[in-house]
Amino acid sequence: MIRALLFDMDGVLADSEGISLDIGIAYFASIGVHADRTSFSSAIGCGERTFFDKTASLLGLSGPPYCYDDASAFFRKEYTERIKNLSISLPGAGIVRAAHERGILTALCSSAPEWKVFANIEAAGLERSDFDFIATGKDIKRNKPEKDIYALALIALGVDASEAVVFEDAAGGIESGKRAGCRVVSMETTIGKEEAERAGADAVIKDLSSIPSFHDSGELESFLFAKSLPPKRYGAVMIKPCGKGCSENILIEEARKAWEHGYAPYSGFRVGAALVSAATGRIYSGCNVENSSYGATICAERNAITTAVANEGAVGIDTIVVYSDDDPPAPPCAVCLQVLSEFSSPDTSVVLVTPNTEPVRYKFSQLLPMPFIFPTMR
């Protein structure tokens, strides 16, 4: 049951992302550096310091003429001026009051500075009293995509993560909500559906106005998450998908941790793997374990699969990450592909990663287009 709604501000309740980006571009122009909106894409929603510092780094600036304090002062002056007498409410922002009236707790969880959050609340036509709790960048040490701001809100409201829904619009924010253990609904105001789902969003809507009027939390729950997904064939088994999202970054991190534990004294080639169960959304990981008798060696992918089966029985694999230090990233071996085929659909995502490269993504059918499935199990 939903007991609390946790809202990001920019791009969810307030149409302010564009203003922030334009000011960021203007600041870098003021020090003679060209930037455009794509320069800030990986820093959106992660706080003002990250917004400027990360973008400066991507632009090749490690010092003067760039200075964060100057950028922050420039931003506050420009933003305060531009937002005067401006309505920046996004469609559907009234859901905050509607939820409050229906006994659902509400919190505002924004990485932005406190002055900006309060200015945006007013410019969006809301009141501070519309929220049971407000957290801003000053309240946390670690900003999004870390879980801290949403974990803080859960503690303040006294609700369990399973009882809260996060509304976000950026990959970093989605990951933050997922790390806190909440279900996350993404708006398409900043990123598209595919990127939101890759970040782990459990549901994607155009904006808050997509949510119809609701009388209680049950009706809201049904609209956001009620899914009647039919059973789906994963290799030799039929599994009913739960439809839960999982952040690719979280999955990569679990595979990396497993990689660190790889036992490979003979080859020196460690591998880690982590997969998502289609039925439960749970993550299972494994590493390679070599043996003096090479034939007894267990690959990371098979280790993760057997762990999943030991916990759930027949399993369907939604996504699997394979982490190694090979270059280019190493794919599963032929034996692992055959084992994977027992529990994978043609569109199961296989993500290959190394410490120094961007993820490379394949559909399982691209790696093994004609898997062998025992005739009676097809």
- d(C-alpha 339, C-alpha 350), whole Å: 14
Instruction: Quote helix, strand, coil % in the chain, to nearest 5.
Output: 40, 20, 40
Q: Which of 175, 254, 301, 342 is catalytic?
A: 301
- d(C-alpha 232, C-alpha 238), whole Å: 5
- Predicted pLDDT at 335: 96
- Mean pLDDT of all residues in 203-222: 88
- Predicted pLDDT at 270: 97
* Torsion of the alpha carbons at 123, 127, 128 and 131, rounded to the nearest 10: -110
- d(C-alpha 346, C-alpha 274), whole Å: 18
Can you give the pTM of this predicted structure?
Answer: 0.64
Q: pLDDT class for 267, splitting at 50, 70, 90?
A: very high
- Predicted pLDDT at 190: 85
Which uninterrupted H or E stretch holds 114? helix 114-123
Decide: helix, strand or coil at residue 265.
Answer: coil
- Mean pLDDT of all residues in 262-272: 97
Sequence-distant (6+) residues with CB within 8 A of 259 are: 270, 271, 272, 287, 300, 323, 324, 325
Residue-wise pLDDT tens digits, 94-105: 999 999 889 999
Q: Is pLDDT above 80 for 253?
A: yes
- d(C-alpha 255, C-alpha 295), whole Å: 24
Pick 322 or 81 by higher pLDDT.
322
Pick 271 or 278 by higher pLDDT.
271
- Predicted pLDDT at 152: 97
- Predicted pLDDT at 227: 64
Percentage of residues in the chain having pLDDT higher than 70: 98
Residue-wise pLDDT tens digits, 6-31: 999 988 998 877 788 888 898 898 88
Q: Is pLDDT above 90 for 32?
A: no
- Mean pLDDT of all residues in 343-352: 96
- Predicted pLDDT at 45: 65
Decide: helix, strand or coil at residue 308.
Answer: helix
Retrieve residue 221's tokens. Answer: 């729950």
Residue-wise pLDDT tens digits, 213-248: 888 888 898 888 876 578 899 999 999 887 777 788
- d(C-alpha 211, C-alpha 194), whole Å: 20
Q: Is pLDDT above 80 for 359?
A: yes
Residue-wise pLDDT tens digits, 40-96: 877 766 777 788 888 888 888 888 888 888 888 888 888 888 887 778 888 899 999
Please, are residues 286 and 263 in contact by the beta-carbon 8 Å criterion?
Answer: no
Let me know if 17 is a catalytic residue: no
Percentage of residues in the chain having pLDDT higher than 90: 53
Beta strand segments in 229-304, E: 232-234, 237-239, 271-277, 283-287
**Can you state the angle between helices 17-30 and 48-58, rounded to 10 degrees?**
50
